[in-house]
Amino acid sequence: MKYSGWPEPGELVVGEIDEIADFGVFVDLDQYEDKRGLCHISEVASGWIKNVRDHVREGQTVVAKVLEVDQSSNQIDLSIKDVNEHQRKETIQDWKNERKADNWMLIALGEDVDDDRYTSVANALLREYDSLYDAFEASAIRGLEALEDADLDDDAAESIVDAARENVSVPYVDVTGYVDLESAAADGVDDVKAALEAAEGNGEIPDGVELDVGYVGSPEYRIKVRAPDYKTAEDELEAAAERAREAIESAGGVGSFHRERREDDE
């Protein structure tokens, strides 16, 4: 997807060097439709430059900072030297992500989707998310719930979720906590087992969340949660521990939750 407007001064853009002259290089801006910028030789690299070709080559993908935009003369002035390595890597990664998202859009809507349909769906997603990539990532994690507020018809929403779940590698976070479960009853082993089953959620764990309960050393049990983000992971960890505590206490036992292993169990 290419933007039809103009970049803003100060914006970092990705482009391909398509012509090198003695006075500078011309850069075809990848993210903007029919837009080309000029990076003067003094903005290619720091210090004195004898030959601009010692620093860049035709066909090279670069990240540049927009210095000035003159729409009346169709001119965009760029600087390559003003982009530090961190900015370059981050911008390139965002650019790569958007190229992926563009491909996912074609998977969802079909290779032969017309421009109006593509633009309509893309704009609906961009009104809710900072980028198409973010929209697909959220859809992979949360399904149709992620698109509830987007102005999309059912077919588009379902197709986006299907494409997201087939193609997006969802990032996960892992958190761990511990519960102590004790019961002095004659059938205390069964009470602890029931409490552990309660911690596991009885099959009612939300989509996108993995929860595992394991034995550490009596009376301590480990709860591991993998989820798309820390808030969800922490909430599910605390909920699992609370289910276990309530179950053991309802059977007359004692339960407690702690984040680190007991020192005397190490």
Query: How confident is the model at residue 266, as a pLDDT?
Result: 42
- What pLDDT does 1 receive? 61
Residue 116's CB is within 10 A of a number of other CB atoms, namely 8
The per-residue pLDDT for 10 is 95
pTM beyond 0.75: the answer is no
Mean pLDDT by 10 residues, the chain (266 residues): 84 95 94 93 91 93 96 94 94 93 95 92 94 92 87 95 88 87 89 92 81 88 88 90 93 90 58
So what's the pLDDT on residue 265? 45
Helix, strand, coil in percent for the chain, rounding step 5: 45, 25, 30
**Structure confidence by residue, pLDDT tens digits, 107-161:** 999 999 998 999 999 999 999 999 999 999 888 877 888 899 999 999 999 999 9
Strands 75-79, 36-40: pairing is parallel
For the chain, the distance separating the N- and C-terminal CA atoms, rounded to the nearest angstrom, is: 54
